[in-house]
Amino acid sequence: MKKTHLTRCQVETPHDVVQLVWSLLSKQRPNQIFDSVLDLGAGDGRFSHTKGAYREYIGIERDGAKVAKANLPSGAKLLVADALKWKGREYDLCIGNPPYIRHHGLDPAWRDSALKTIHIGGGPSLKKTANAYIIFLTQALLRTKASGIIAQVIPYEWVTRPSASELRDFIKSKNWSVYVYRFDSDIFPTVLTTASITIIDKNTTNGKWHFGVINRDGVVTSVENPSGTTAEVLSYSIGVDGCKALRGLSPGGQEIFVLTEEERLFYSLRKGRDVRPCVTSLRAIDQGVDLLNKKLFEKLFVHSGARCWLIRSDLDRHSTELARYLESVPTEAWRRYSTCTNRKLWWRYRPHPAPALLVASGFTDKGPKILVNEVGAVAAGSVYGVLLDGSSLYHVTIANRLRSYDFQERLVHHSNGLKKIEVRQLNAVLADLNSG
């Protein structure tokens, strides 16, 4: 893993949550004392601090400084090693809170080696887009015995995200029982994801998946579906021509490619020739607004100092002013972004068309903000664009249908009241609405 991401992901599990995990284990395996416990990515070994639950605890931690400072109880030890290179098997229990690192932050060589090791060891062929905790959870399944059990504090999103589909299919093929308890509060304030306690019992092979909402006192409220409602979670679709959602443009550093009005004027960049309207967030838009026209764009984005002008570095030819701006960008600035360093010309991004509709990816109400894009702004960052054929009246019709759709009933909670729709889920909704 990249060192910077490894340091950033070291979020300590609250002690009451540690004890909550052990409490759920005791209910799942009454009166069992585990002969051997493995903790992958153990940190300071805080999951070893419980009485009478195990005979031997081994924590694997890459950060030697944490291991050196750890104060462990009798029967517990920490080893400095790479958790994905650990060869020990046949543990009764694998417990812990694995690192939350998005796949972008994983060292490609480490990731490829880990995925290969997992597959050779009898595990599933995980996607390269699998986040670190998915890799660690899969490793936990392989390191426990046939009658073992796994208890992990991990993001709740794993129950639906496509990047974890191979792992879910692998678990289902084994008919293991799964218990996923989503926290009703934000236990990791610095991590933008909803946490869960996930228990996979390999000794109970009825193949059932159980979902619930849990509070800090350990009270569990059972729910029917991962959405927390009676409705199934939205499926995923790639979309169809003429009615398709696209992720927001990611040219490689908004502070470089998306300028404020003041910056545009400073560099003498001309609208249309050098820059075009761009929206990276819809937070400034009131929920009741349904149209982004020139007047509103000027008021809420241009005159407010927001980054709203996308430079036209995607074009073959640049004006003298735009060329001068690109030359002024420090090398160390654009090299911070792999998107730029992976391109032959660091500034030559692949353009996106101005969509018919702008849709926020995150929301806290019934559904996301949806705007008819009269100003012709490019969707970037956290804003999705919906490409539609047909007349402007048809665009308004689709926008109204989306606003009437109850998204919150069919989505997994993202973080502390925030819900987030994936672009392929939005495509599934569009396909449904467009066929009606």
pLDDT > 90 fraction of the chain, expressed in percent and rounded:
79
* Residues 380, 386, 390, 394, CA torsion sign: negative
SS3 420: strand
**Residue 105, pLDDT score:** 81
The answer to whether residues 111 and 162 touch, using CB atoms and an 8 Å cutoff, is: no
Which residues sit opposite 211 in a β-bridge? 180, 223
Residue in this structure with the two tokens 């994801």, named with its chain if needed: 193
pLDDT (tens digit per residue) in 284-304:
999 889 999 999 999 999 999
Please tell me the CATH code under which domain 3-223 is placed. 3.40.50.150
Mean pLDDT, the chain, whole residue set: 92
pLDDT higher than 50, residue 1: no
Where in the sequence of the chain do the CATH 3.40.50.150 domains occur?
3-223
The CA distance from 36 to 55, in Å, is 6
The structure tokens listed for 384 are 């999705």
The CA distance from 406 to 409, in Å, is 6
Q: Report the candidate in 150, 179, 139 with the shortest Cα–Cα distance to residue 47.
A: 150
The structure tokens listed for 170 are 């692998």
Cα–Cα distances (Å) from 228 to 161, 210, 343, 362, 383, in that order, read 16, 11, 42, 18, 25
The CA distance from 417 to 425, in Å, is 19
**Residue 184, pLDDT score:** 86
Lowest mean pLDDT among 7-11, 191-195, 302-306: 7-11
Average confidence (pLDDT) over 203-225? 93
> Predicted confidence band at 5 (pLDDT cuts at 50, 70, 90)?
very low
Q: Report the candidate in 40, 35, 46 with the shortest Cα–Cα distance to residue 59.
A: 40
The answer to whether residues 174 and 203 touch, using CB atoms and an 8 Å cutoff, is: no
Average confidence (pLDDT) over 125-146? 95
**Which has more pLDDT, 3 or 430?**
430
Pairing relation of β-strands 275-279 and 362-363? Answer: unpaired
SS3 152: strand
> Predicted confidence band at 436 (pLDDT cuts at 50, 70, 90)?
low
Q: What global pTM score does this model have?
A: 0.78
